[in-house]
Amino acid sequence: MTTDDFVALAEALRIHNRTADGRTEFTPDHLLVLAEFCASQDHNFNQKAWIDYITGERGQGSFVENDIAAGKPIPRVNRHQGGGKGRQKQSSAHS
């Protein structure tokens, strides 16, 4: 997974938890499982920073330590990007 993927997933979870009722909200245990998976994809992944961003305890920043050291900016995520009813399917390089 790329840094963009980690950011997009965090943003989707953050938005969901802000709008979800208690029955569908991602719990701390759910977030930890997802963070552990992300860490398995990139050994520099910062689980605490990622979870803290989702829970609103910190602003958006890098979740991958190499990106922090390189000064790489983290892109903003368009919450309306991706699939959904009424949206056209985007072409794929794999088609």
| DSSP-assigned letters across all residues of 32-48 | HHHHHHHHHH-TTB-HH
Q: Which residues contact 82 (CB under 8 A, 6 or more apart)?
A: none
Give the relative orientation of helices 28-41 and 3-19 as an angle to the nearest 10 degrees: 170
Which pLDDT tens digit goes with each residue over 13-60?
Answer: 999 999 888 788 899 999 999 999 999 999 889 899 999 999 988 766
Q: Tell me, what's the pLDDT at 13?
A: 94
